[in-house]
Amino acid sequence: MNTRTIERWAPWALLLAVVALWQVVCSVFAVSEFIFPSPARIGEQMLEYRDIIAQHAWRTFWVTLAGFGIAIVVGVMLGFLIGSSRIAYAAIYPLMTAFNALPKAAFVPILVVWFGIGVGPAVLTAFLISFFPITVNIATGLATLEPELEDVLRVLGARRWDVLVKVGLPRSMPYFFGSLKVAITLAFVGTTVSEMTAANEGIGYLLISAGSAMQMGLAFAGLVVVGVMAMAMYELFSLLERRITGWAHRGSQSM
């Protein structure tokens, strides 16, 4: 078995081991399902309420993608602005860092006042929590262009715009895809948090409803579904990263 095959199956083997250990602990110590349900109980609840879970999961999924799509557009544009100008970098970056330090859950009540309970606060929360990594990575990719490379291109007649668009942006693609894999998981967090306080549908709403009814197996099933959706999107971006920026990882792939 070669290294690549081991790397491909290692996460699944670890996941299986964790689930098996989880089940053994719950069975041996007779842990109450109201405290910590076993994987078997979570699976039963998932099958029993599969239609309800699917309905809430679909709502969380498309709302997350809507907020994430806005985050990509805003993040790329803002990152390009910050990375292409030293003045913009010095002026905007510290303010963005301070904004990112604010707890995004605190914005949910404000968004409810502005947009009401429903899709609006969830989309905007997903956007607010996920655009920062995209902006930072695009800005970093552009701002760290080697001065020698830029000088050579200038001597050859390239304008500043040509350097940024034809060299800077392609060079930033590995940073960009790395940020997407982080940002999509944050977007699911933002959507779920918003749905827990400002929605009547979605996985976040399901978690609150299941917890109130003491259906902990159903609540954990909702968490599992969010994790699966986030992992699926992570793997999708990993696949796109390997296809589009394979040149940046050629050295590591040959090891």
> Domains plus CATH for the chain?
39-242 (1.10.3720.10)
At 219 the pLDDT is 92
CA distance 227 to 209: 19
pTM: 0.86
Q: Which residues in the chain show pLDDT less than 50? A: 252-255
At 84 the pLDDT is 83
At 203 the pLDDT is 94
What are the residues whose beta carbons fall under 8 Å from the beta carbon of 132, sequence distance 6 or more? 75, 96, 99, 100
Contact by Cβ (8 Å): 208, 196? yes
